[in-house]
A and B are shown apart, each in its own frame.
Chain A
Amino acid sequence: QQPVQSPQAVILREGEDAVINCSSSKALYSVHWYRQKHGEAPVFLMILLKGGEQKGHDKISASFNEKKQQSSLYLTASQLSYSGTYFCGTEATGKLIFGQGTTLQVKP
């Protein structure tokens, strides 16, 4: 079952914050976040393993609510380099299923 991401697209100015949500209808073992720039391969950002876990990566952090089967990715003080498509990947039965992606555009 493919996870659902929201919003589908976000446009920001440099320095603004954004939140990308990922929800699943299945109980999850882990949630992965990847970023893909146009014409390139997806690049790993982080994995969250436990319910309620939060992780950070520079000014990008994420939370995982196991009970609600949801994860959120937080981008603070966005930079131009944050532009791209963000995918969450959910793992329930040993295989990683990706959402449809959220396109983020950061403008100067």
Chain B
Amino acid sequence: EAGVAQSPRYKIIEKRQSVAFWCNPISGHATLYWYQQILGQGPKLLIQFQNNGVVDDSQLPKDRFSAERLKGVDSTLKIQPAKLEDSAVYLCASSFGTGAEKLFFGSGTQLSVL
């Protein structure tokens, strides 16, 4: 079974530039999550989709972050413009349903903002 695919694996940008991350969840998984993990901390939920609808985006800094999941399959997370404090690993995860479901994580994108 193919896992959650993410790209790119690493990204280095300067502050005020824009960046986009891509995620392809496990086939058939309705729920897709984007988490931000700052070094030494637990993953922080940014946005949760069920199919192509947003379930929760209360922690997403909407002035600079945006995410979409067109057609309820793959998803893109964008940051524009990036700040130094956005340096983190961005993890995508998927699950079959919502609620008490096992999450499958991708390898993440490590973002460094200089």
**Partner-B contacts on A (CB < 8 A):** 2, 29-30, 32, 34, 40-44, 47, 49, 87, 89, 91, 94-101
Given A94-B98, A95-B56, residue A100 in contact with residue B42 (CB < 8 A): yes
> Residues 1-37 of chain B: 1 if any A CB is under 8 Å from the residue's CB, otherwise 0?
0000000000000000000000000000000010100
Residue of B nearest to A47 (CB): B100
Is there an interface contact between A96 and B41, defined as CB atoms closer than 8 Å? no
Q: Is the CB of B105 within 8 A of A43?
A: yes
* Docked complex Cα distance between A89 and B100 (Å): 10
Distance (whole angstroms) from the CB of A5 to the closest CB of chain B? 8
Chain A residue with Cβ nearest B4: A41
- The answer to whether residues A29 and B42 also contact, given A41-B108, A42-B91 and a CB cut-off of 8 A, is no
Q: Identify the closest chain A residue to B106 (Cβ).
A: A41
Q: Are A40 and B103 within 8 A (Cβ)?
A: no
- B105: A residues at CB distance < 8 A: 41-43
Give the tally of cross-chain contacts (CB within 8 A). Answer: 55
Identify whether the interface residues of B are mostly helix, strand, loop, or mixed.
Answer: loop
Choose the segment among B43-51, B68-76, B80-88 that binds chain A (4+ C-beta atoms closer than 8 Å): B43-51
Shortest C-beta distance, A16 to chain B (Å), equals: 25
B103 and A91: CB pair below 8 A? Answer: no
A residues near B45, Cβ cutoff 8 Å: 95-98
Question: B35 to chain A: which residues have CB within 8 Å?
Answer: 98
Residue contact B103 to A98, C-beta cutoff 8 Å? no
Q: Which residues of B contact A44 (CB under 8 A)?
A: 102-104
- Does the CB pair A98–B99 fall under 8 Å? no
A95 near B55 with CB under 8 A, answer: yes
Q: Given contacts A40-B107, A94-B55, is CB(A100)–CB(B41) below 8 Å?
A: yes
Task: Let me know if A49 and B42 touch, CB within 8 A.
Answer: no
**Quick one: given A41-B91, A41-B105, A42-B91, are A94 and B99 in contact (CB under 8 Å)?**
yes
Residue from A30, A95, A96 whose CB has the most chain B CB atoms within 10 Å: A96
